[in-house]
Structure 1
Amino acid sequence: MVASFRRQTLAGEMLVLQLAIVVMVLLAVAAVSLAQSEATFDRVEGRRVSALAEQVAANPLVRSQLVAPLPREALAPLVNSTQSQSGVTSVTVADAEGRIVSSTDPTVIGDALPLGEGAAAGRGWSGELTLDGTLELVAQVPVIGAGRDNLGRRLGTVMIGAASPTMWQRLSGASSYLLAYLGIASGLGLAGSLLLARRVKRQTLGLEPREIAGLAEHREALLYGIAEGVVALDPQHRLTLVNEMGRRLLALPADCVGRNLADLGIEGRLRDVLTGDREGPAEERDEVVIRDDRILVMNRMTVVKDGRLLGSVTTLRDRTELARLEREIGSFRSSSELLRAQAHEFANQLHTISGLIQIGEQEEVVRYIRALHRRRQSLDVTLSRRVRDTAVAALLMAKSSQAAERRVRLRISDDTALDRLTPEDAADVATVVGNLVDNAVDAAAAGEPVDGGAWVEVELRQDAATVEIAVRDSGPGVAPDLAREVFSHGFTTKAARKGERGIGLALTRLVCERHGGEISVTNTPDGALFTARMTVSHLADAVAEGAGR
């Protein structure tokens, strides 16, 4: 019982379908054959009965009997002999009034002869008539007088009919070759369907249609049910699959499947990661890529089966929100590091003062404290005079202590001038300054020793609507082959030297672009120069705008 309800295999389904097609084709051939048989019968038998009717109508005996008075028994032998010799179904002779005077069916003698349209008008006619319940193909020919008294006069009509074979009679006549055709076609269909089923099963890895449908459903559920983007490429770099998340992260059109990466406008770093056209190990780590305003983490895997390259599959994760959280956490971490650096600096100074006191150098203690005071006061005065925004000034003050701990001198350019900004803009400017200073300090601390010690210089300039941030350092600079790509790759300056991953400069670029600005890097004789431009609102402008409302 269970086996009877078992699903049909692919080979079985193809066999049944193939046999059904063969039967339908044979039925259509049989119908065409019957139609051709009927047309052939009408053409051949129509000519034969017409010729036979003309022959009987031209017989002198028929003419003489039609003009003689009744009875006309002499026509009976002629009618019967004509039927027996020709094999027709009926032979009938009627007089000029249309009354049957002789026939192979004696029961109709004296009845009116059914005439066709042409025969009623005195002309010959052939067609189908139903006689005594039988459909016959008949020919009706007028009998024309030939004697001196009857020349040209219509004396009567001769009708000869041949019964039309029924459909079953035609099928029985053709059954032998139809059955042979059916057997041959069934055998060919069986062999062809088995061979086709084997080929299809090889191409579908032995899976049945229901299994293929299940895999397709599971794939759709898997691809569109995960939070990560998935992009698949063939060896020609054509997009073969992408889920909704991947299409949204890469800003692809709805009809992107089947199109080349170049047609979709995917170039540069993003294309290199998707295709694997880049230096270094291809699939050992995640790659950071910026697409529009998103920071994407991508991982590419090559798909190979039986030594044949099928393409690649790349997963994408949106790290933009995570990067924002990392930046916020980083600000707290940076604050703690700055406090620790300041505490370390103060502890060193206290240790120095304590040592001078212990050795009895009280005057040297006073001079040391005054020198520390003058240096701190000089930095405070410089920052407060040139950087009026308290958030940015406090950041630079803290970064100075952190740099000093790493034996890097942070100096403020004499051309620096920055007014107070709105809190939102001040936070973004501080983010850019902090990232650039951190990268510059790393580069300067890791660089070769220079005369006067390692240093980082910060210059802030502004006009009515923009702020320009320039950070120079005494480090080794940025490699020329990375100078143009460092921001799109999402590297930090440390990554530019060692090939490590990072998103510090990527965040800086996003902040600048969000403010309608840009960031660039160039190499100078002293080291690297990072320049960032941003559109900002000054605090006075914001207050005036709020008062106007």
Structure 2
Amino acid sequence: MVTTFRRHTLAGQMLVLQLAIVVVVLLAVAGFSLAQSEATFQRVEGRKVDALAEQLGANPLVRSQLVRPAPEEALAPLVHSTLAQSGVTSVTVADTQGRIVSSTNPTVVGERLNLGAGVARGRSWSGDLTLDGSRELVAQVPVLSAARQTLGRQLGTVMIGEASPTVWQRLSGASSYLLAYLGIASGLGVMGSWLLARRVKRQTYGLEPREIAGLAEHREAMLYGIAEGVVALDPQLRLTLVNDVGRRLLDLPEDCVGQSIDDLGFEGRLRDVLVGARHGEADRHDQVVIRRGRLLVMNRMTVMKDGRLLGSVTTLRDRTELAELEREIGSFRSSSELLRAQAHEFANQLHTISGLIQIGEQDEVVRYIRALNQRRQSLDVTLARRVRDTAIAALLMAKSSLAAERKVSLRISAGTALGRLAPEDAADLATVIGNLVDNAVDAAASDDDTGDAWVEVELRQDASSVEVVVRDSGPGLPPEVAREVFAHGFTTKAAQEGERGIGLALTKLVCERHSGEISVANTADGAMFTAHMPLGHPADVAPEGVPG
């Protein structure tokens, strides 16, 4: 037979805890009442027994009888009358040797009186004594002679005692309504405990402590076991949660939880993505943000519960290395696109030649082929003379064919002069030129209705850097996009259509890695992108007219 133990619910545990607190408070109140009652009894009854003892010790009858033999018969009426009139518990008279000669308790007559400190030397004393099995508050006063011959000599001792009340007597005497107060306090405590337990139950969504602990364990395992960064904000934009990956990607301090994003220095595009729907924006996915040399892709989701805003959760992925791979793959893609565009171009030219031959226009065929050859030689000569780096020249040749396929003319500026570069610098420069040209061609082709679309590329090099200027005949950029296009990580097309892209973000990242910069401005014809990239390696051959 298996015995199962039913665990207490959270509400039950809270109720028991609150009841225990109420009991402790009640005991404390009772203890305080007892202490207060004891202090009052000591103060009030102490003064009473002191006064009565002084009065009885100064009585002439007591003085006269203590010097005579057998004073018990004469003092007994005085002792009992004092007891009856004052309402004290005991009255006792002892001689100079401390032997009791008269008392309201006849059984103690003849016994020795337990004297307090200093009483035998003529001093008064008050305190607690146990008499006949009961505890009393007593005052002992010496009886001094008033006769001229024996003035001041101690004749005996007078003791007045008041029985100390029991604990129950003190509680009942503290207040006639103490029990009622305690009952009311107990009822209110029980009611408050029950309401508190219900409130805690609602706030924990009906979960029991073991379930909450399980959720916390699962959350920790999930947050710190995934490869993505996780950042959570409350409605006041305070950081409520961040895992190790998120802290590393955003370069956050160890004590960042609890601080607002403004205190942490979040601004620009990063802040806009994190606050998202707070400013009326819908949650958007795969937002590209550049943060201290990292290319981050962020997804934000607003957290709601029963129509109440609880905050937001944003996940982060580091795409810096992936962007580097995309850049390398892009060179192969450009080659394949070039081959495809050239094949398409050659197919069109062959179809034209075939048609001319079929209609018998042999002379026109010769002129057509000569014109094609001259145009090709003109572009080859221009690139060979102005761009000495073969990788960059090949890239521009490919982009020219691709632009022509979209009816966009790619021009090389007369001011272009570029020498051979180190392979590492050439690869980074190709990334910058390729992304800028692609965006420019997209912008020019989308805005052209006349067939006069163009893109112009100008490359300028000095001993330590290269400057890339790309102009287009497109519509330009809206002022608000022009200010933030690189921070937002948009391509030109994405800026116009609201799609995401990492072309310009990657371009900015490459320039910043070389300690360079990139900017955009609108001109009379369209947009102009200018990228300045210092070279990390010396060039092998300088272009004509440019220092090596």
Shift of 1:61: 3.9
Which residue number in structure 1 is paired with residue 413 of structure 2? 413
Alpha-carbon spacing, 1:102–1:240, altered in 2? closer, same or farther (3 Å)? closer
Provide the residue aligned with 2:29 in structure 1: 29
TM-score of the superposed pair, with normalisation by structure 1: 0.84
Deviation at 1:502, TM superposition (A): 1.9
TM alignment of 1:299-338, pairs within 5 A: 299-338=299-338
Residue 172 of structure 1, CA deviation: 8.3
CA contact (8 A) 2:80 2:104 kept: no
After TM superposition, give the deviation of residue 387 of structure 1 in Å: 1.3
One-letter identity of the residue aligned with 2:516: G
Give 3-state SS (helix, strand or coil) of 1:74's partner: helix
Gaps of 5+ in 2: 542-548
**Counterparts in 2 of 1:119 and 1:4: CA distance versus 1, 3 Å:** farther
Which residue number in structure 2 is paired with residue 545 of structure 1? Answer: none
The aligned residue for residue 15 of structure 1 is 15
Q: Distance in 2 between matches of 1:350 and 1:454?
A: 25
Q: Distance in 1 between matches of 2:441 and 2:199?
A: 67
Contact 1:229–1:315, Cα closer than 8 Å, also in 2? yes
Match of 1:546 in 2: none
Kept in 2, the 8 Å contact 1:65–1:74? The answer is: no
RMSD: 3.6
1:497 and 1:152 mapped to 2: Cα distance? 118
Greater RCO, CA 8 A, separation 6+: 2
- In structure 1, the residue matched to 2:225 is 225
Partner Cα separation in structure 2 for residue 481 and residue 146 of structure 1 = 113
Inter-CA distance 13–521: structure 2 relative to 1 (3 Å threshold): same
Q: Which moved more, 1:268-277 or 1:103-112?
A: 103-112
Paired letter, 2:300? R
Instruction: Measure, in 2, the Cα distance between the counterparts of 1:192 and 1:302.
Output: 36
The 10-residue stretch of structure 1 (262-271 or 457-466) with the greater mean CA deviation from structure 2: 262-271
Q: Deviations over 1:114-153 (max 9, x none)?
A: 4333322223332334456654433323333344554544
Q: 2: distance between equivalents of 1:73 and 1:469?
A: 130
8 Å CA contact 1:302–1:312 kept in 2: the answer is yes
Q: Residue by residue, what CA displacement relative to the aligned partner does 1:266-299 show, whole Å, maximum 9, x if unpaired?
A: 3333333333379997236543333332333333
Alignment of 1:469 with 2:472, yes or no, is: no
Structure 2 length normalisation: TM-score? 0.84
Would you say 1:516 and 2:515 are equivalent positions?
Answer: yes
Q: Which amino acid aligns with 1:455?
A: W
Taking a change above 3 Å as real, the CA distance of residues 348 and 305 of structure 1, as seen in their structure-2 partners, is: same
Following TM superposition, by how much is the alpha carbon of 1:341 offset from its aligned partner in structure 2, in angstroms? 1.7
Q: Residue 23 and residue 359 in structure 1: after superposition, are their counterparts in 2 closer, same or farther (change >3 A)?
A: closer
The sequence identity of aligned pairs, in percent, is 78
Of 326-335 and 170-179, the range deviating more from structure 2: 170-179
The alignment of Structure 1 onto Structure 2 pairs a total of residues equal to 540
User: Quick one: distance in 1 between partners of 2:100 and 2:470?
Assistant: 128
**Counterpart in the other structure of 1:378:** 378
Aligned to 1:29, the other structure's residue is in SS state helix
User: Match for 1:484: what amino acid?
Assistant: R
Q: How big is each residue's C-alpha offset from its partner over 1:501-527, in whole Å with a ceiling of 9 and x where there is no partner?
A: 322222112111111112222233333
Find the aligned partners of 2:148 and 2:456 in 1 and give their Cα distance.
144
Once residues 56 and 498 of structure 2 are traced to their aligned partners in structure 1, the CA distance between those partners, rounded to angstroms, is 114
Closer, same or farther: CA 51–298 of 1 in aligned 2, 3 Å: closer
Deviations 1:60-113 (A, max 9, x none): 443333333x44453463476357635655544333454444455667666654
Equivalents in 1 of 2:395, 2:89: separation in Å? 122
How big is the shift at 1:171?
6.3
Matched, 1:499 2:498: yes
Structure-2 change in CA distance of 1:362 and 1:240 (3 Å): same
Once the two structures are superposed, residues 199-222 of structure 1 have per-residue CA deviations (whole angstroms, 9 ceiling, x without a partner) of 333344333444444444434443
Superposition map of 1:307-456 within 5 A = 307-354=307-354, 367-449=367-449, 453-456=452-455
**Paired AA for residue 459 in structure 2:** L
- Distance in 2 between residues matched to 1:203 and 1:187, nearest whole Å: 24
Whole-angstrom CA distance in 2 between matches of 1:247 and 1:405: 47
Deviation at 1:159, TM superposition (A): 3.0
**Residues 194-251 of structure 1: per-residue CA shift (max 9 Å, x gap):** 2232333334433344444444443444334333333344444444444443343333
